[in-house]
Amino acid sequence: MDRHIVIAGQGRSGSTLFYNMLRNTLQGYGMFDREVPAASVIQLPGNQCTKRPFDIFDLPKLFQANQGRKRIDLICMLRDPRDILTSRHRSVPDDYFVAADNCWFVPEGRVPAFTAPGFLPVHEASMRVSGSGLFPQGIFFLKYEDLVRDPEAVQQMLAEGLGLTFEGRFSDFHKAEIPQRLQRALNGVREVDTERQRKWAKPEHRARIIDQFTRFPVLHDVLKQLGYEEDQGWFEDLQREAQQEGVAVKAAVPAAKPAAAEAAAETKQSALPVTGSILDHPAIPVLYEDATMKLSGIEGSGPQCLVTFVGVGHGLGGIDQQSEEFRKLSSGGWGSQLFVFDKTRSWGNALDPELLARLTAPHRAGRKVSTLGLSMGGFLAAQMSRPLGAARCIALAPQYSVHPEIAPFDTRWTRYSEQISTWRQPSLMGSFDSACRYELIFPDLPVELAHAERFPKAPNIRRFTVPSDNHNVAATLKARGQLYPLLEALLREDGAGALPDFCTPGAAAWHVAPEVAAAAG
């Protein structure tokens, strides 16, 4: 089936920058030299990719016009609302381009008019689409801050999450020829500029921010919903600074809520991401959620209950993408598949094992339980194997510990471990249950093998090593067509003879041969 990628969402959130990155690297898709409504080209044959922020309002009509001929994917652009509200455009040099209620409309060859939908109407439309069910495969929410902080990490997320192929690097977009019509919104072609973040905090924008957040108080809710602030302390500080420096701020009064603001206030607890860019899967129901843990699940009638612990995401690239992993197993007839999120990336120190056991008990009853996870998720799969009564635990690239005194050789996770105030479980010591079989799969990198050496040696604990230059050993195995054949063999295996041919025993660990398998993994 042909595909169409729609890039929509907030204007002034890097959509033109992102589209130029795609034009220079995305393989197998038709790209355009200007902003094009998706509905105007949906009938074209082959794969296409379009960018137009206001397509967020027209997606139901797009699906109606498509009539199921193509798979449609949505990449929804987000950015700190304060930076959007203080953004400038060369077509309107004397005014801010976007306000909470309206923004400037700049038709080619005509006079700009302040008549287009502003930040709040676009936000409300994004939330409506998020809960519409139009995209059962998920919506890729992309934050501008993540895109400029680490373009290549975003590129990897898109490749893995949407199955896209790239040649070249996002960060080299400025070296390619950029059509004139796609230069205008960039305000000049240049390298990726990380300094354009938090420009709203500059003194010259204080009056603007105070005015907008006073007239449209719902912006405070949106700011917290998107994870940019936890409270209104920043706004009180801004007001105090303005008073101290004598900044003249009009006595703005709260505006009568437009329909979009009313809708945003009513639906501010939507599924939009609160931490970093994410491929959101609205088709997987959330069974429980609090400040530290989220539990989602897919019901099944098979004999097993698979409890998958989600990793930190692409944290090494500065991006926190947490999403349900190993979802393909849910179609294999194994049974129910549950997904556990350690939302604060605490390596289980903020989770309550007894609560998790109670929540999952109805799904585990009468079934063989297997825990599964990658990286931090692998650590959690081992840690929770005893409380969940697991018969098997499959941990890919797990850490034995991220405590700085126990694993000083591994500093990759410091940004998370520094936030752990109480170490209830500093390592996996004491977590292993003799009634459970542990399958530990490590890439053959020195830091990974240093963790592997610290795991206990016992008849029910088996190690695998995979030739790889990537911590994400699941991605390595998937690229070789080996991931799901290996996982499925481990889930059903009762003896060593049932493992795939690419696994061979060694003195200290089983080895996974690097050849590419015929089956897709």
**Where do the structural domains in the chain lie, given as residue ranges?**
3-195, 284-512
E strands present in 328-436:
335-342, 368-374, 392-396
For residue 409 the two structure tokens come to 């050789």
Crossing angle for the helix pair 218-225 and 206-215, nearest 10 degrees? 100
Rounded mean pLDDT of 60-84?
94
* E strand or H helix at 476: helix 473-479
In the chain, the amino acid numbered 347 is W
- Of residues 432 and 498, more confidently modeled: 432
- Residue 179 corresponds to which amino acid? P
Lowest mean pLDDT of 127-136, 325-334, 465-474, name the range: 325-334
Contact 416, 379 (CB under 8 A): no
Q: What is the mean pLDDT of the chain?
A: 85
Model confidence pLDDT, tens digit, residues 369-399:
999 999 999 999 999 999 999 999 999 999 9
Q: Using the predicted structure, report yes or no on whether residue 497 has a pLDDT greater than 60.
A: no
In the predicted model, what is the mean pLDDT of residues 429-433? 97
CA distance 480 to 474: 10
Residue 259: pLDDT band with limits 50, 70, 90: low
Superfamily of domain 284-512: Alpha/Beta hydrolase fold, catalytic domain (3.40.50.1820)
Q: What is the mean pLDDT of residues 101-130?
A: 92
Dist CA 4 CA 63 (whole Å): 11
Q: 283: pLDDT confidence band, cut at 50, 70 and 90?
A: low
- Average pLDDT value for residue range 166-174: 92
**Whole-number Å distance between alpha carbons of 453 and 461:** 12
* Average pLDDT value for residue range 487-498: 73
pLDDT at position 494 over 90 = no
Residue 446 CB partners (closer than 8 Å, separation 6+): none
Q: Which of 46-55, 373-382, 386-395, 502-511 has the lowest mean pLDDT?
A: 502-511
Cα separations in angstroms, 427 against 13, 347, 383, 384, 454? 41, 9, 9, 12, 10
Structure token digits, residue 328 = 């393909």
In 10 A of CB 46, how many CB atoms? Answer: 11
H, E, C per residue of 6-39 = EEEECCCCCHHHHHHHHHHHECCCECCCCCCCHH
- Asked if residue 507 has pLDDT above 50, the reply is yes
Q: Indicate the pLDDT class of residue 56, thresholds 50, 70 and 90.
A: very high
Residue ranges of E strands in 343-397: 368-374, 392-396
Mean pLDDT across 404-425 = 93
d(Cα 65, Cα 55) in Å, to the nearest integer?
14
Q: Give pLDDT, residue 191.
A: 72
Q: Does 463 have pLDDT greater than 90?
A: yes
Evaluate if residue 32 carries a pLDDT over 70: yes
Q: What is the pLDDT of residue 318?
A: 30
Name the residue with higher pLDDT: 485 or 359: 359
Least confident span in 43-57, 146-160, 349-363, 407-421: 146-160
pLDDT band at 161 (very low <50, low <70, confident <90, very high): confident
Q: Are strands 335-342 and 293-298 parallel, antiparallel or unpaired?
A: antiparallel
Average pLDDT, integer, range 244-254: 62
Average pLDDT estimate for 9-24: 94
pLDDT at residue 208 tops 90: yes
Is pLDDT larger for residue 249 or for residue 396?
396
Q: Give the whole-angstrom CA distance, residue 24 versus residue 58.
A: 27
Least trusted range by pLDDT, from 25-29, 188-192, 338-342, 503-507:
188-192
284-512: same fold as 3-195?
yes
User: By C-alpha distance, which of 441, 334, 314, 347 is closest to 391?
Assistant: 334
Average pLDDT over residues 34-43: 95
Q: Which residue has the higher pLDDT, 279 or 341?
A: 341
Do 426 and 403 contact (CB within 8 A), yes or no? Answer: yes
Say if residue 319's pLDDT is above 50.
Answer: no
- pLDDT of res. 316: 30
Looking at the domain 3-195, which fold is it? Answer: Rossmann fold (3.40.50)
91-105, 155-169, 204-218, 374-388: least confidently modelled range: 155-169
In degrees and rounded to multiples of 5, residue 23 shows phi and psi of: -55, -30
DSSP symbol at 291: S
Rg (CA), the chain: 25
DSSP 324-384: --SGGGGGTT-EEEEEEEETT--TTTT--HHHHHHHHHHHHTTSEEEEEEETHHHHHHHHT
Give the pairing type, strands 461-466 and 437-443.
parallel
Looking at residue 400, what is its pLDDT?
98
Residue 133 C-alpha from the chain's centroid: 18
pLDDT for the residue numbered 233: 94
Confidence band of 277 (pLDDT split at 50, 70, 90): low
Work out the percent of the chain whose per-residue pLDDT is above 70: 84
Residue 422 has pLDDT above 90, yes or no: yes
Say if residue 271's pLDDT is above 70.
no
- Determine the pLDDT at residue 121: 96
Interatomic CA distance for residues 293 and 291, integer angstroms:
6
Average pLDDT over residues 213-229: 90
Q: What is the mean pLDDT of residues 39-64?
A: 96
Q: Residue 403 has what pLDDT?
A: 98
User: Which of 313-322, 435-444, 476-485 is least confident?
Assistant: 313-322
For residue 311, the SS3 value is: coil
Q: What is the rounded distance in angstroms from the CA atom of residue 168 to the CA atom of residue 155?
A: 10
Q: Could you tell me what percent of the chain has a pLDDT over 90?
A: 58
Distances (CA, A) of 443 to 229, 351, 398, 440, 499: 37, 27, 10, 10, 18
Q: Is the confidence at residue 187, as pLDDT, over 60?
A: no
